[in-house]
Amino acid sequence: MDIFAKCPVFTDAKEAIAAGFYPYFIPMEGNEGTEAIFQGRRLIMCGSNNYLGLTMDPRVREAAEAAIRKYGTSCTGSRFLNGTLEMHEQLEREIAVFVGKEAALVFSTGMQTNLGTISAVVGRGDFVILDKEDHASIVDGARLCWGETRRFKHNDMQDFERVLAAVPEDKGKLVVVDGLYSMEGDLAPLPEIVPICKKYGARLMVDDAHGIGVLGKGRGTAAHFGMTKDVDLIMSTFSKSFASLGGFIAGDEPVIHYIKHHARALMFSASIPPANAAAALAALHIMRDEPEHTARLNAIADKMRAGYRSLGFNIGNSTTPIIPILIGDDLQTIFTWKALFEEGVFVNPVLSPGVSPGRQMLRTSYMASHTDAQMDRVLEVFGKVGKNMGLI
């Protein structure tokens, strides 16, 4: 059998494209932070992870441009060999201080951070325990490791303890959860997770890709709950609040040193380019020194959650700037996305199996740089489309 035989029979995406209802890989002509340009039309961007709006901040852009002028466009090698700059290590030191850990290690992407960290730490005979709503990069990191994977129902502490209690006492155990869950905008209940981890001798890693810059005065979910010392490893990306590309893992120095010398995703990938490192460093300084951006972001999130609820939309358990509009049907989700798009509002449709059946949604997310007028317009459009679609 030809291994490519499966390819020509996959026609779902082509059929959606032909029908004009394909919501993915949309080629934008421009992106100005809170607005995107598609075929000459401006759309209010409510689908980006640019939470603090720093991709267009002149200080971040200038830092990236200056790094290119000084270092060129690439380090052309891995961190392990010729690809480490002094700036990479400066970024690691400052991140560690910012999130309250002894050391940090910068990877080239957030995906690689989880792949490299989990596969390095969880060895043969060890166990990795995951929330069933964990990000795909965490799941794939668990697949790459030599240990065994166990999963528990999302944020269900009774099921979590049941799963953890079943792991042999003499085995190494790493629990990995998202801090802020990227689809429904809810938080991992760290005050409940931490005592259970300690009870069973498990280490805890929090993926805070969406939490850094958003929670805990920008320092993330652990800081939000006052539990930074209780979380063993904090992971995040640069592709969201940091307005760049890359990722990091932070924790105790011996653990980070071990990961640095065992994570294949780090050792066999080219290092983060100078421009991206410089942009992340500049964004970090803004995040640290200007907490008003995080405050503004959360004020906008409060406004939008209240607005959607008053219109009659189901936004689930969101308490953050990630606000789902739960619809529960693939076709209705796509039709609603298209209607919003035509009205000038960009959101992300999330379908099964990307989410559990019955949880199909429009994922909306917000930036500190959104204006009140833009948010009022978004709510106006959602009200109009929601009524036309029979959602409210």
CATH for 376: 3.90.1150.10
45, part of any domain? no
**148 and 238 inside one domain:** yes
Domain extent, residue 378, equals 3-31+291-388
CA distance 280 to 237: 10
Q: Among 102, 100, 106, which residue's Cα sits nearest to residue 85?
A: 106
* Predicted local distance difference test score (pLDDT) of residue 21: 92
Q: Among 55, 56, 34, 53, which residue's Cα sits nearest to residue 43?
A: 34
Boundary residue ending a domain (289, 316, 351): 289
**142 and 279 inside one domain:** yes
**299 and 365 inside one domain:** yes
Q: Please state the separation of Cα 15 from the chain's center in Å.
A: 30
Boundary residue ending a domain (289, 320, 354): 289
**195 and 343 inside one domain:** no
Q: Among 238, 237, 219, which residue's Cα sits nearest to residue 278?
A: 238
**107 and 217 inside one domain:** yes
Give mean pLDDT in consecutive 10-residue pieces for the chain, a chain of 392 residues.
95 92 93 92 96 97 98 95 97 98 98 98 98 96 97 98 97 98 96 98 98 98 98 98 98 98 97 98 98 98 98 96 96 96 97 86 97 98 97 94
**84 and 179 inside one domain:** yes
The count of domains in the chain is 2
CA distance 146 to 157: 26
* Predicted local distance difference test score (pLDDT) of residue 31: 84
**256 and 324 inside one domain:** no
**14 and 161 inside one domain:** no
Residue 221 backbone dihedrals phi, psi, to 5 degrees = -65, -45
CA distance 298 to 276: 26
Containing H/E element for 276? helix 274-289
Residue with tokens 């869950």: 181
104, part of any domain? yes
Q: Which pTM does this prediction carry? A: 0.96
**Amino acid found at 43:** L
44, part of any domain? no
**17 and 84 inside one domain:** no
Boundary residue ending a domain (289, 307, 326): 289
